[in-house]
Structure 1
Amino acid sequence: MDREKAASDRFACTERERCIFETGIKLATIYHQYVGTPFNLKSVSSLEEAISRSIEVQPYVVSAKVTIDRSVIPEDVDEYSYLSLTGDMIDAVVKVSMGSTKVTAEMRYDSELRYPLMYVSKIE
């Protein structure tokens, strides 16, 4: 069975539209899967890496880079010094390629909107 053909046959859209759709799924996964994850200064790099790698194993992903705003992490640490990840802490760039289409999408906190905005930043 050709799983790619079977999947493609289910989409009533162009390759370009599907590539944009797939990119949106990846950003939504970052937000909805990981918001609420506890972390601290010692674990923030590992969390960034885990999120990035978990997105990169998904279909069509070329690269995923997630960074977490370290300015909100307390430096005076004790047993109770940790945070739960929120959308406004996440900065993500995901690149997806499907056929001849390449899409870059990003998630960044937009202070004017006061919202962690997900958007398409480039289509090739």
Structure 2
Amino acid sequence: MDSKAKAAFEAGIKLGALYHQWVGTPISPNTATTVEKAIEEAVGLQPFVEDITVRIHTEYMVLNSFGYSELAGKMFDVKIKTKVEDSVCVAGLKLEDEYPMMKILELK
């Protein structure tokens, strides 16, 4: 596998893992920033990750009677940059047409 393909694979696998690991996490508007930072720090530890930015759209939260919501895929706005050798992939996860879409934004 060449380095561009590996950089793209690494970005995709990390976004998929992020999505499935964190969906369902109890969250409120008051804790969203803490969860964003925790995701960035956890994913950022993984090999080939150069940068990651996580934003959670709190306007999609529906608070239950206990004052919190569950993190849903539609709330994510994520951008990740992976690097393998000289190849760089920037990929994203965000709501498009009511679906949390993952896609490659740049590959060089």
- TM bucket (normalised to shorter chain) is over 0.9
CA separation of 1:96 and 1:78: change in aligned 2, threshold 3 A: closer
Provide the identity percentage.
29
Tell me which of 100, 104, 107 is aligned to 1:116.
Answer: 100
TM-score normalized by structure 1? 0.82
1:79, CA displacement in angstroms? 6.7
What runs of 5+ residues in structure 2 fail to find an aligned partner? none
Instruction: Give the aligned partner of residue 71 of structure 1.
Output: 59
The structural deviation recorded for 1:73 is 3.8
Question: What letter is aligned with 2:7?
Answer: C
Unaligned runs of 5+ in 1: 1-12
Residues 68-90 of structure 1: CA deviation (Å, up to 9, x unaligned): 0021346xx89711000010000
SS in structure 2 of the partner of residue 59 of structure 1: coil
Q: Secondary structure at the match of 1:42?
A: coil
Larger Rg over CA atoms: 1
When the two structures are aligned, how many residues end up with a matched partner?
A: 108
CA distance in 1, matches of 2:10, 2:61: 32
Query: What is the RMSD of the two structures over their aligned residues, measured on CA atoms?
Result: 1.6
Q: Which residue identity does 2:70 align to in structure 1?
A: S
Which has more strand, going by share of residues? 2
